[in-house]
Amino acid sequence: MWWVGRGLAVWAEDSTLPPHAPRRPGRAPRERPHPFAAAQATLVAALAAAAEPTDLGTALLTLPTRAGSPLDSPELVRTTAVEPVRGRVTLAGWRVPVLAYAPDAALTLLGSLDGLDATAGASLRHLAEVGAFAADLAARGRVLPGLVELPDGDTTSARAVWRPLLTGTDAGWARALALALPPATRATADRQPAVDAPGLLVADALDALTDASVRAALPEATLARGVRNTGAVAPWLDALTGPHREFSADPAALHTLRRELDAWQRDAVGGSVRASFRLVEPAADEISEPVTVVPADPYATVPTVDTWRVEFGLRAADDPGLHVDAGQVWRGADVPVAGDNPQETLLAELGRASRLWPEVDAALRTATPEGLELDADGAHRFLREGAPMLHAAGFTVLLPSWWQRPSARLGARLRATSRSAPGTVSAPADRVGLDALVDYRWEVALGDQPLTADELARLAELKTPLVRLRGQWVELDPKRLAAGLRLLRSTGELTVADLLRLGLADGDQPDALPVLEVTADGALGDLLAGSVERRLAPLVEPPTFQGTLRPYQRRGLAWLAFLQSLGLGGVLADDMGLGKTVQLLALLAADPPQTGPTLLVCPMSLVGNWQREAARFTPQLRIHVHHGAQRARGEDFATAVHDADLVLTTYTVAARDAADLAGIDWHRVVLDEAQAIKNAATRQAEAVRALPARHRIAVTGTPVENRLADLWSIMQFVNPGLLGPAATFRKRFAEPIERHGDAEAAQRLRRITGPFVLRRLKTDSSIISDLPEKLEMEVFCNLTAEQAALYRAVVDDMLARIESSEGIERRGLVLATMTRLKQVCNHPAQLLRDNSPLGGRSGKLARLEEILDEVLAAGEKALLFTQYAEFGGMLRGHLSARFGREVLFLHGGVAKADRDELVARFQSDSGPALFVLSLKAGGTGLTLTAANHVVHVDRWWNPAVEDQATDRAFRIGQRRRVQVRKFVCAGTVEEKVAAMIADKRGLAASVVGTGEQWVTELSTAQLRELFTLEAGAVAE
């Protein structure tokens, strides 16, 4: 899928087609048909119900290719097993059938992905995020009308458009969407180079989808009503609604309208200096004689007459610390903002603000406006309407601190009592579940003061929006007062799920009360109070468990058992290395006989680890591994499960064997590395959510990897329905938090999810005090003369080629340059592939030998990580000869049995002391605590990946201080990228999860600066 011109183009892969391309001698490589691309008839059948395509055709894509066949996309799950093919991955051209959609149809399609009879790929899901953002902008009125010239240069015609107005957090979200654009979105070789950059592609798509969103919401042909049909305005207004966007007018009139609209756009976005507005409440000595509001509370008062003031000023947009009030501007004092004409700037800014908040006009009637006086109603209108509108337009708005406090508003509290309050947390009869009913009582409070129905009625009679209560201003919203009265008089049933969801109440709805507090008795009360893990009495490990749990692990076991007793699921999100596996095994060991089987789904790389750990800690458990071509099916599978306590399978098999797995009445389903289902629409996520189970547990160290939708998907597995439908969650939480930084929405989300997520960090001394120290350091190495010469040659050659290339070819060259330079930094032999000896030719290798001399002399062990398996093999051979001892090597081609043997040998006291691992194959799922030295010989620039690899040694079972060294070649691209990540945390955040793709979007000048070898990089 990609966005081209003014439309969406979609193609698909068919999992029923074979992956290998037919061999056709003489056919040009760029004309090969994609062997498993879905035919147009298949595409139409899958997508036509969502939206009608406007064009059927083909497109040429440049895709990753191995052994003459395009690679599967990550989302593709084949219906039949395919033998893995090895070889170098290259880029090649493939012709695919496509469906094209105009913006209006594209918006419909992107909004209906959940209902498609197909799995959406990463690029389509990303464009769906752009579409949702466009719809959100339209719904919030963050759009401006405009016009664009037609591409053929026609001076008498133009196109009416709606453009997104991007300021503040909206602009930041648009930039984030551009940075996160999947590379597959730009795979088409037919696209013009002008839209190759992610920012331009996302901007094009956002413009078109915003225009479609506004037109979908507006009735046709109403904007021009009452406008005289002269010039270009009336036809332009007509073209702003409905499907017909183009219109004709006199060229001079079009030019005038375009100039005025461009000026409007500039005014809306603003410049480097913006007006500021500060609301000042009446001082205590200025408040007139108060009157009593609530007889029962003599401190509740409201002034009969009061004067509020909005003070004007100027503030630098790029430096909020530069601020001056309007008085300084008019007195002609030295003003550090707005250049030589601060007075004109202030008047212009106030004029722009008056278009949004017309009450500013009253101040503009004076020659030197410094502020505006308001009564209580006017102050309330500013707080509720003017301030948000001005802030959204980029003006600085300063409000009293009490306005953002919950105590400044009317709110509700819920007191609940479980009808089947549990006595002990282990008895099956104590199960409550999300559907259980509870007894409840509502309270309504203003600030900290509970109010009766009579008191609410008295407050409603005051007809004033702001009340001074016990020395603090609070808001009285008539609609919320009425809602409070209805709440106090309400009757009905309330379930546990309703009770928990009340923490999600949208306080921004004018006719609803925000829920300030939810409390309950018994087990539910402990759950809602937060930190329930610390409130529970720790559970000692059951007699059949062959080991001793740490105190925090016993509390974790109690928490898991507690949730199980309530019929609720949980997310065990302890930090890597804190022993999530043993806590789960202890829970399994505590299951009474005949409880039923537990299904554990995990990545293939962890199946062996679970087998070993279960054999060590719970040898009495009967384990069945459901994996491999010869795995049991149908009745044989049901029989195997009946004879097992723990069934191990992988996510891939869970998707393929969904029917067999769903036919078992599982006592418990556990997902290890549960971030594997972060994309809720994938087949494996849908398959595991459909598994029947009385208890569900997700195990992950990263419950939120990239976006809040990850959390929704995991919570939907753990406690289905708790967070509501995906669309509702996106509207209430994901969009306000991710796009607008809504702290209140984030707090509500923590309130509802907190009881079901147990997260402990190993850096917390209250959790674990005997884990040894971890020392991390960057080790700078110099290049040898040979390395420096090769480095300069690569830079000169590749920059010349990059300058003359465009589009996907340019991006490929940039990534190739980065790879070659990192290979040079490792060793010349890695780049040259000439099987030449390694000794004396690499600064990194020389430093590594020095470090390993010390490690081996001390009788210690080391892990050596590299992202290049080929270099790992070279290191293994050289180090084995250099030190005269065996060096282990783990890479992606090592079979599971051999992998397990390597780990066991290294962990043994008499095993080899050096272990070379490829980062991808050995960075997760292993316990290698025999090592207390970790060396990252080369780096992937993803801190999370490096930390995971380091935690193979820095985890429970480690008795010694762990020293982590990260090699960096001084003066090279390695040092420059390391400095960028260290100095610019925003860049680091954008790099995480995307590897080095961000480098491809730098300009040639920036690339030259990044790649060029600095002085002093070569060893003397």
**227 or 847, which is more confident:** 847
**930 or 75, which is more confident:** 930
Beta-bridge partner residues of 30: none
> pLDDT per residue over 367-415, tens digit each?
999 999 999 899 999 998 999 888 877 788 999 988 877 666 778 888 8
Most confident of 305-309, 342-346, 544-548: 544-548
The pLDDT-based confidence of 230 (bands split at 50, 70, 90) is: low
- The alpha carbon torsion through 626, 629, 634, 639 (nearest 10 deg) reads -40
**593 or 981, which is more confident:** 593
pLDDT at 850: 84
pLDDT at 301: 44
> pLDDT per residue over 778-821, tens digit each?
888 888 889 998 998 888 888 888 877 777 777 788 888 888 89
Distance between CA atoms of residues 947 and 89, nearest Å:
27
Q: Looking at the predicted structure, is the pLDDT value of residue 425 above 70?
A: no
Least confident of 260-269, 358-367, 454-463, 622-631: 260-269
The number of beta carbons lying within 10 Å of the beta carbon of residue 37 is 22
H-helix or E-strand spanning residue 230: none
pLDDT at 234: 81
The pLDDT-based confidence of 852 (bands split at 50, 70, 90) is: very high
Q: Looking at the predicted structure, is the pLDDT value of residue 219 above 60?
A: yes
pLDDT at 577: 65
Beta-bridge partner residues of 862: 914, 933
pLDDT at 192: 44
Q: Looking at the predicted structure, is the pLDDT value of residue 285 above 70?
A: no
pLDDT at 986: 35
Name the residue with tokens 């004092």.
333
Least confident of 364-378, 434-448, 668-682: 434-448
Least confident of 76-90, 690-704, 728-742: 76-90
Q: Looking at the predicted structure, is the pLDDT value of residue 624 above 80?
A: yes
- The alpha carbon torsion through 254, 257, 260, 266 (nearest 10 deg) reads -70
pLDDT at 501: 63
Distance between CA atoms of residues 929 and 906, nearest Å:
9
Least confident of 264-273, 680-689, 755-764, 899-908: 264-273
Q: Looking at the predicted structure, is the pLDDT value of residue 303 above 50?
A: no
Q: Looking at the predicted structure, is the pLDDT value of residue 859 above 60?
A: yes
Q: Helix or strand or coil: residue 60?
A: strand
Least confident of 60-69, 685-694, 893-902, 992-1001: 992-1001
pLDDT at 284: 60
pLDDT at 531: 62
Q: How far is CA 675 from the centre of its chain?
A: 12
pLDDT at 236: 85
What superfamily would CATH give domain 774-1011? P-loop containing nucleotide triphosphate hydrolases (3.40.50.300)
pLDDT at 22: 46
Across residues 301-314, what is the average pLDDT?
74
> pLDDT per residue over 399-412, tens digit each?
998 887 766 677 88
3-state DSSP of 538-604:
CCCCCCCCCCCCCHHHHHHHHHHHHHHHHCCCEEECCCCCCCHHHHHHHHHHCCCCCCCCEEEEECH
The number of beta carbons lying within 10 Å of the beta carbon of residue 196 is 19
**212 or 892, which is more confident:** 212
Q: Looking at the predicted structure, is the pLDDT value of residue 95 above 70?
A: yes
The pLDDT-based confidence of 992 (bands split at 50, 70, 90) is: very low
Closest CA to 6 of 159, 170, 226: 159
Residue 433 — left, alpha, or beta (φ > 0 → left; ψ -120 to 50 → alpha)?
left
How many CA atoms are closer than 13 Å to the CA of 52, on its beta-carbon side? 1
Across residues 842-861, what is the average pLDDT?
88
Give the rounded percent of residues in the chain with a pLDDT score beyond 70: 81
Residue 141 — left, alpha, or beta (φ > 0 → left; ψ -120 to 50 → alpha)?
left
DSSP 30: G
pLDDT at 1008: 76
Q: Report phi then psi at 917, rounded to 5.
A: -135, 135
The pLDDT-based confidence of 421 (bands split at 50, 70, 90) is: very low
DSSP notation for 830-896: HHH------TTS-HHHHHHHHHHHHHHHTT--EEEEES-HHHHHHHHHHHHHHHTS-EEEE-TTS-H
Closest CA to 356 of 400, 320, 394: 394
> Cα angle at 747 between 746 and 749, to 5 degrees?
65
Q: Looking at the predicted structure, is the pLDDT value of residue 995 above 50?
A: no
Across residues 560-586, what is the average pLDDT?
86
Across residues 267-288, what is the average pLDDT?
74
Across residues 745-761, what is the average pLDDT?
82
The pLDDT-based confidence of 707 (bands split at 50, 70, 90) is: confident
**41 or 287, which is more confident:** 41
Name the residue with tokens 């003003």.
335
Across residues 990-999, what is the average pLDDT?
42
pLDDT at 896: 81
The pLDDT-based confidence of 585 (bands split at 50, 70, 90) is: very high
pLDDT at 620: 94
**CATH 3.40.50.10810 at 532-758, yes or no:** yes
DSSP notation for 745-788: HHHHHHHHHGGGEE---TT-TTT-S-SPPEEEEEEEEPBPHHHH
The two domains 532-758 and 774-1011 share their CATH topology (first three levels equal): yes
Per DSSP bridges, beta strands 410-418 and 437-446 are antiparallel
Give the rounded percent of residues in the chain with a pLDDT score beyond 90: 22
> pLDDT per residue over 939-950, tens digit each?
876 676 788 888
Handedness of CA 387, 389, 391, 394 (dihedral sign): negative
pLDDT at 878: 92
Could you tell me the maximum CA-CA distance found in the chain, to the nearest angstrom?
Answer: 97
In 943-972, which positions are buried (b, 16+ CB within 10 angstroms) versus exposed (e)? eebbbbbbbbbbbbebeeebbbbbbbbbbb
Q: Report phi then psi at 984, rounded to 5.
A: -125, 95
Across residues 654-664, what is the average pLDDT?
93
3-state DSSP of 975-1014:
HHHHHHHHHCHHHHHHHCCCCCHHHHHCCHHHHHHHHCCC
How many CA atoms are closer than 13 Å to the CA of 731, on its beta-carbon side? 12
Q: Give yes or no for a contact between 345 and 275, defined as CB atoms under 8 angstroms apart.
A: no
Name the residue with tokens 């006009």.
361
H-helix or E-strand spanning residue 632: none
pLDDT at 802: 82
Across residues 288-310, what is the average pLDDT?
52
Q: Looking at the predicted structure, is the pLDDT value of residue 601 above 90?
A: yes
In 471-481, which positions are buried (b, 16+ CB within 10 angstroms) versus exposed (e)? eebbbbbeebb
Across residues 207-213, what is the average pLDDT?
91
DSSP 913: S
Q: Looking at the predicted structure, is the pLDDT value of residue 646 above 90?
A: yes
Distance between CA atoms of residues 521 and 505, nearest Å:
21
The pLDDT-based confidence of 866 (bands split at 50, 70, 90) is: very high
Across residues 88-116, what is the average pLDDT?
84
Q: Looking at the predicted structure, is the pLDDT value of residue 426 above 70?
A: no
Q: Looking at the predicted structure, is the pLDDT value of residue 696 above 90?
A: yes
Closest CA to 871 of 805, 936, 931: 936
pLDDT at 810: 79
The pLDDT-based confidence of 428 (bands split at 50, 70, 90) is: very low
> pLDDT per residue over 49-78, tens digit each?
667 787 778 888 888 888 888 888 877 766
The mean of the pLDDT values for the chain is 80
Least confident of 642-646, 789-793, 913-917, 1005-1009: 1005-1009
Q: Looking at the predicted structure, is the pLDDT value of residue 358 above 60?
A: yes
Q: How far is CA 229 from the centre of its chain?
A: 49
H-helix or E-strand spanning residue 58: strand 55-66
**373 or 180, which is more confident:** 373
Closest CA to 814 of 2, 806, 576: 806
* Domain map (residue ranges) of the chain: 2-235, 273-399, 406-529, 532-758, 774-1011
Q: Which residues contact 701 (CB under 8 A, 6 or more apart)?
A: 573, 574, 575, 576, 580
H-helix or E-strand spanning residue 915: strand 914-918
